[in-house]
Amino acid sequence: MLLAVLFQQNFYYAYAPRWVEQAIAKVNQQFTQSDTITEVWVALPQLDQPSVIELCDLFDELLDSLYGVLIVDLIKMIHQHLSANIERVFVGLQLHVRDSVRSWELAEIKQILWLPEKHEYFIYIIYVGYPSKWNEWIELSSERLKWMQNKQGQMITVRPSIELRNLQIGDCLDSFNPRSGLWERAQLVEKFQKSSVHVKICIPSNDCPSQNTSRRCSVLRLAPANTFTILR
């Protein structure tokens, strides 16, 4: 079942044995509406998670609490700890996914699947702005996934939209670098038709002075200034 999910892309078939193809067919037959999961709460590996020492400290606190704390208060304490270390992943959430040419592209979750025999969640993603042939299943713990976080480290579930017609030459923006997977300060140099612009990458500063580095990028890789980057 796991391999059936992993070998969804056509280019894998040259390497996949016949039993993998049969497993894929079985998945397609058994995947009904009742199997669909709309959201899960999980600890995402790319985000800050408690260390072993912190978890041990929590365990000690729970043991101590059993003797002097009401059950209601104990539940509140556990909920407070878990809320700070797990995130909601749901259908419609946007994130960046590293594709086959090692470029980080904006994607959106369309389905979530739990494989109990593998103890793993898989997400079915579409690449925003790309044909459906690139859609794929990816395990939720994959290093190819990059969850969007603002400059405070909080998870962002949908990329902040920006309208090309509202941009003016010289505006400062946050620009996503698909090679590094990082957000950078940028300054608008030129606007083109069909949702693309030419930007210069800036040194993080209050007046946004530009460097020699520049690139043409899609509006999908832009966000309002100071959303993901920090002024210094």
Residue extents of the structural domains in the chain:
2-40+89-146, 50-84, 164-224
> What value does the mean pLDDT take over residues 108-126?
90
* pLDDT value at 11 more than 50: no
Give me the pLDDT at residue 93, please.
Answer: 95
CATH of 2-40+89-146, picked from 2.60.40.10, 2.30.30.140, 2.40.50.220, 2.20.25.90, is 2.30.30.140
In tens, the pLDDT along 83-103 reads 556 788 999 999 999 999 999
Mean of pLDDT values over 33-54 = 66
Please report where in the chains the tokens 């040259």 appear, as a residue. 14
Proportion of the chain above pLDDT 90, given as a percent: 24
Look at 193 and 129; give whichever has higher pLDDT: 129
Which pLDDT band holds residue 192 (cuts at 50, 70, 90)? Answer: confident
3-state secondary structure of 226: coil
> How far apart are alpha carbons 37 and 90 in whole angstroms?
8
> Does 164-224 match 2-40+89-146 at the fold level?
yes
- Determine the pLDDT at residue 8: 45
Please determine, for residue 176, whether its predicted confidence score (pLDDT) is greater than 80. Answer: yes
User: Can you give the length of the chain in residues?
Assistant: 232
pLDDT of residue 125: 96
Residues 141, 46: Cα–Cα separation, whole Å: 9
What per-residue confidence (pLDDT) applies to 207? Answer: 46
Cα angle 65-71-73, degrees, rounded to a multiple of 5: 75
Res 31 pLDDT > 70: no
- Report the pLDDT value the prediction gives residue 98, as an integer from 0 to 100: 95
Find tokens 């590293």 and name the residue. 98
Closest CA to 227 of 193, 176, 187, 190: 176
Whether pLDDT at 68 is above 90 = no
Give the pLDDT confidence score for residue 33 in this predicted structure.
41
- 99 vs 209 pLDDT, higher one: 99
For residue 51, what are its two tokens? 């260390």
Element (H or E) spanning 62, and its range?
Answer: helix 52-68
pLDDT at residue number 74: 64
Say which CATH class 164-224 falls into. Answer: mainly beta
Radius of gyration of the chain (CA): 22
